Structure 1
Amino acid sequence: MSFWHSMSWKTEGIQVAAPVQWRQLDGLVSVLWEAESQAGASGYYLADDPRIMFFFNDVSSNVRISNRNDDFTRNSRSMARAVYVPAGVPMWTSSKSAHRFSHLNLHLHKDRALRYLMPSVGSSAAQTAIRRPVELQDVSAIEALAKLLADEIRNPSKHAVYAESLVGSIVAGLLDIPAETSEKAAGRLTQAQMNKLQSHIEKRGDYRMTIADMAATVDLSESWFASVFKQTTGKSPLQWQLSKRIDQAKQLLAEGDLPVATIAAQLGFSDQAHLTRVFRQIAGETPAAWRKLQQG
């Protein structure tokens, strides 16, 4: 994904102390800054996409930040070592005293951030995480990653996937991603998730959804959904859908006189023979024999 960040900013009393170094990646822009700040320096920043600021030195005693500009003194707080700023969230800064700082700016296209998180945590949790700001003073979990990424920006030596994986790990280590639910820890779907899946699949009528579609319906990653679905239902997603289609076929057979071929077409089977084969495997009888038994 070709991406270059869009950002409005204005600073006073801050100047670059070394050439800015950057690297453009897949949906990411990594920028390494060395700067000097005067006492009373100020800044304003607003980006269209999410971004991460990581400071290699502790500036909490020198820099105050706020997301409001109406009463900076009352609404400000110390700048943390690592800050995640969601898209569209403004930031004002003010420096108490002169100091020099080094920091890494990671600009993330929101779709790229979602694409990284969703396979592991699901759509809902990923959407929630990228909208929630984070400020972290204890950066021990991601400091080594940030230093490795800075080295790769200064002297690129590996394929871009290496730098991208470092960014991904920093994102995962910094963002406030909800902890696993008790149901997930137990390896099963919740009843609410099963109800949602059942309702959605009934609206389709043919009970033919891919695992990816089923996982997206209940806001889970495909890999996690596939691993817990059988523990929840006792069937694989394909077996479960087939059994639901046969249940629907039974209802149509019992309630009316539709030809078996028509029922097969209505429920998405390739032909009458396909329905008959699956029906016999699950119900133990052919559709015609089952209907006769019900009528008898």
Structure 2
Amino acid sequence: MGYPAEFRPRMQARTRALRTLEPLAFQTLEGAVADVWAVHGEAGGGGHYIAPDPRIVIFLDDQPPPMVLRAGSPEAAPIVAQAFFMPADLPMWARMQSPARMTHLDIHFEHAALERRLAAGRLRVDLARPRLLASNTSLVALGRMAAAEIRSPRAGRMLLDGLLTAVLAELFAAGPVVTGPSRHEATGRLAPWQMAAVRRLVEENMARPVSVADMARAARLSESWFAHAFRAEVGQPPHRWLAGLRLERAAQMIREGARPLAEVAQMTGFADQSHLSRRFRAHFGMTPTDWRRAQGRRSEQAEAGSFKTGREIWS
């Protein structure tokens, strides 16, 4: 059974000795998909899971399954959980300690949609860090109600949407919990959504100053952690990457030739034309004016070569 086109979970899973007992049941909501699984696992069975979208899992049986979870690293401390939140791009390992049947509710979120839901409930949550609950009867009760509605819809999406809101409130307000390492702590790198958020911030503010602190806030990290993870991900410090991005944008605008250099400098975040010229020459080995002329000559040579080839074809 397939998911509808608007949002599709993109889980990658490698499992062993796990067998589904019932057909998958699912319902779609705005920026989310909720599905119910019934599974039998053999001792030693389990899997490795990773997804580019955050998700919540609630085990619906009276007791947590005899399964140990490790978040972020296969060497992480093993945890038995009744429910958990797993951030985008954070790997998870699971291993059955004994044979068991288990039923679980999985809720997959589009990252921006989850942020909107949390903001509407005034919940401040670190979405880069996993959250695991050993036991929570309220979450299990909410999960069972949601699973029943998914399997046999009675009230359209309104009831399920309300239950989803209640699950978020209970999960992120509940305690005690175990928190694991975030992806950048586990791998030393940024998650794709964090890199996308930083790039979006820069591209939307190309004409204005953007500090490393601004980029760290967009990635939901401290400034020191962000600088470390960014360098591991990109291979250079954030400020150098930002300067290169501004220069590439300036070069694109200069190549198009429609704007004076002073305007290009203003639109790409440089103090003035001379500031742009100095940085441009250091990066490209020539001034913007010389570079524009060189681009024009290359274009003329390309056109001449194309014309010559055309004459040879028809001669």
CA spacing shift, 1:137–1:58, aligned 2, 3 Å: farther
| Residue number in structure 2 paired with 1:44 | 48
CA spacing shift, 1:62–1:4, aligned 2, 3 Å: same
| 8 Å CA contact retained: 1:86, 1:132 | yes
CA deviation after TM superposition for structure 1 residue 96, in Å:
1.4
TM-score by length of 2: 0.50
CA distance in 2, matches of 1:100, 1:61: 8
Percent identity of equivalent pairs: 27
What SS does structure 1 have at the residue aligned with 2:44?
strand
Matches within 5 A, 1:1-296: 2-57=6-61, 60=64, 62-71=66-75, 75-121=76-122, 125=124, 128-175=125-172
| Residue number in structure 2 paired with 1:259 | none
CA-to-aligned-CA distance 1:57-76 (integer Å, 9 cap, x gap): 256462111125553xxx34
Which residue identity is paired with 1:140? T
| 8 Å CA contact retained: 2:105, 2:147 | yes
CA spacing shift, 1:54–1:15, aligned 2, 3 Å: same
CA distance in 1, matches of 2:65, 2:120: 39
CA distance in 2, matches of 1:35, 1:108: 22
- Structure 2, unaligned runs of 5 or more: 175-315
| 8 Å CA contact retained: 1:15, 1:37 | yes
CA spacing shift, 1:102–1:44, aligned 2, 3 Å: same
Which residue identity is paired with 2:96? S
CA distance in 1, matches of 2:135, 2:98: 23
Which residue identity is paired with 1:117? L
CA distance in 2, matches of 1:61, 1:16: 15
CA-to-aligned-CA distance 1:4-46 (integer Å, 9 cap, x gap): 1111111000010111111111111111000000111120110
| Residue number in structure 2 paired with 1:186 | none
CA deviation after TM superposition for structure 1 residue 78, in Å:
2.9
CA distance in 2, matches of 1:160, 1:120: 19
> Number of paired residues?
171
| 8 Å CA contact retained: 2:74, 2:93 | no
What SS does structure 2 have at the residue aligned with 1:106?
strand
CA-to-aligned-CA distance 1:122-179 (integer Å, 9 cap, x gap): 7xx2xx43223211123123222111111100101112122111111101110259xx
Structure 1 runs, 4 residues or longer, greater than 6 Å off: none
- Structure 1, unaligned runs of 5 or more: 178-296
TM-score by length of 1: 0.54
| 8 Å CA contact retained: 1:61, 1:78 | no
CA distance in 1, matches of 2:149, 2:43: 32
Which residue identity is paired with 2:142? L
CA spacing shift, 1:70–1:168, aligned 2, 3 Å: closer
Measured on the aligned residues, the alpha-carbon RMSD in Å equals 2.3
CA distance in 2, matches of 1:156, 1:60: 26
